[in-house]
Homo-oligomer: A and B are copies of this chain.
Amino acid sequence: MKNIITISRQFGSGGREIGEKAAAKLGYKYYDKEIIEKLAEKTGLAKEYIRKAGEYAPSKSMFSYAFIARNRDGTSITDYLYRVQRELVLEIADEGPCVIVGRCADYILRERGDCLNVFIRGALDSKIERVTKLYSVSADKAKKIIKDADKKRSINYKYCAEREWGVMKNYDICLCSTALGIEKCVDLICAAAK
């Protein structure tokens, strides 16, 4: 029995919807925006900043890194936020069965034996279709949003977890939502958790 399910996902793959539905089906708590709200409470940082920080590259070069915002004690805001986020994810996992979307939860909880780490990907065309509908943008704009978001997730994960995002070996189960469909992904995750 896997008590904790972490969902990492490509932008536009439906990973959030899949996570939410899996949590509902399993009777697990669901954490996504709730984590951002809790982090805002704990850190005093704005929700929008935290939301973006989760998908933001803290530094694209050693040069720019020197100029990122720092706390009074010298740690960067990125490092500070990750430290608080890490503590929060550990606390949440201790509270009981849950589904956690994003936030490097797979890495943060890597030492627990009751974690199922899931990655949801999709074909580019279907991700574009999903994003154009959800955000009312053109296909070209959707493509750019997807590319940018995944790049930022990848760099943020690499920075915090010091390993590669979206690489098979870091997950227990990787599903293509285009080939399988949202409902089938939900069913497979629930079956894998049981």
Contacts and interface: CB of A to CB of B under 8 A. Distances in A.
Given A188-B192, A191-B187, A191-B191, A172 B168 contact: no
A66 interface: no
Chain A interface secondary structure, helix, strand, loop or mixed?
mixed
A68 interface: no
Interface in A106-130: 116-117, 119, 121
A176 B172 CA distance: 5
Contact of A173 (B167, B169, B180, B187): B180
A10 to B, nearest CB: 10
A169 B150 CA distance: 14
B172 A180 contact: yes
A176 B176 contact: no
Contacts of A84: none
